[in-house]
Structure 1
Amino acid sequence: MTDQLRQLLESCIENGTETDLQVLNILLQGVQKRSERNSDSYVGELLHMERKIDNHTCEIVIPINPAIHNNLNIVHGGITATVLDTAMGSLANYILPEGFGAVTNQLNIHYIAPGIGDQLRCCAEIIHQGTKTVVISGEAFRSDGKKIAHATGTFFIIPK
């Protein structure tokens, strides 16, 4: 595997555009951070997520870069959905007692404006906490403060 990976990296470095090399660097930094932190998820590290969480809210910020752009050079809607789902799911899991976890049951997103600028910030807050589900609201903002998406998510509570 090491020789095959080395050849692949060398080919990408030799033949890639400046943007390709920038994206490769961003992705490799994410893999390196996952390894250093011993994270159990690649998604957070590949997107360079920074998270703040308490009993009521969760905020995740990611840098906007070409690795997350769609063909219009704005943040891909799936990336916005992923960060919103992660913020809401992180909050749902944070508030649950030991031995329980939360998984997404339903995710509703309304896209409002394009994701442009330097960073994407997603905030989540609890709407309802029951014994079987948690309902959470989320909003995504670009670096100029404009809201780009509003979401709600329902999360099943399951034993781990």
Structure 2
Amino acid sequence: MIARMNTPIKEHPANPFEGEAPGILFGLPMPMARAMKLSGERIGEDRAQIRMGFQPDQANSRGDVHGGAIASLLDCALASACRSHDPTAFGVATIDLTLHYVSAGSGDLIATAHCERRGRSISFARGEVRSEDGTLVALATGTFKLMARSPAQA
């Protein structure tokens, strides 16, 4: 049986990423996170959760959140889950990302992701996006390349 993705994530005793400045996502500088209003809510135990605050610039012609914004949110969440074992020591590059849009999303959206398998350099993850009321918006799977960051980057 597969556990539902929005199972609560057990956090580390002290969350060093709480209250991060805009543009920082789980310890890594990411200007896109500021532009997309992404905030890392939880990370640990092969899981990550990221919230995307709604902005009118993210809307499609119907006023719902654009699919491209949802894809970017899932990409960040799955990549974060893959580096959750040591968030500031690794950068991540997306090799493959597959999405399934289930319903329209509006308002703030929350992505929850789980790293299914982490090898020495390649990781596999799955995730989902839900609206604040719990409505399933999208599902994703992805393959990611882990890259050690140099001490100057960390």
TM-score, length basis structure 2? 0.72
Instruction: Answer yes or no: is 1:119 the counterpart of 2:108.
Output: yes
Change (3 A) 1:113 1:155: same
Match for residue 126 of structure 2? 137
Counterpart Cα distance in 2 of 1:70 and 1:85: 19
Counterpart Cα distance in 2 of 1:138 and 1:44: 18
Structure (1/2) with the larger strand percentage:
2
Q: Does the 8 Å CA contact 2:73/2:111 hold for their aligned counterparts?
A: yes
Offset, 1:40: 2.5
Offset, 1:99: 5.6
Offset, 1:139: 0.2
Counterpart Cα distance in 1 of 2:88 and 2:61: 43
Aligned length: 126
TM-score, length basis structure 1? 0.69
Change (3 A) 1:47 1:100: closer
- SS for the counterpart of 1:95 is coil
Match for residue 84 of structure 1? 74
| % same residue | 27
Structure with greater Cα Rg = 1
Give the gaps of 5 or more residues in structure 2. 1-20, 150-154
Map Cα deviations across residues 7-31 of structure 1 (whole Å, 9 max, x no partner). Answer: xxxxxxxxxxxxxxxxxxxxxxxxx
Structure (1/2) with the larger helix percentage:
1
Match for residue 61 of structure 2? 71
Give the gaps of 5 or more residues in structure 1. 1-31
Instruction: Answer yes or no: is 1:152 the counterpart of 2:141.
Output: yes
Q: Does the 8 Å CA contact 2:51/2:109 hold for their aligned counterparts?
A: yes
Offset, 1:159: 4.0
Counterpart Cα distance in 2 of 1:97 and 1:57: 11
Farther-moved stretch of structure 1 (99-108 vs 84-93):
99-108
Match for residue 16 of structure 2? none
**Letter in structure 2 aligned against 1:84:** L
Match for residue 95 of structure 2? 105
Q: RMSD value over aligned CA atoms?
A: 2.5
**Letter in structure 2 aligned against 1:77:** G
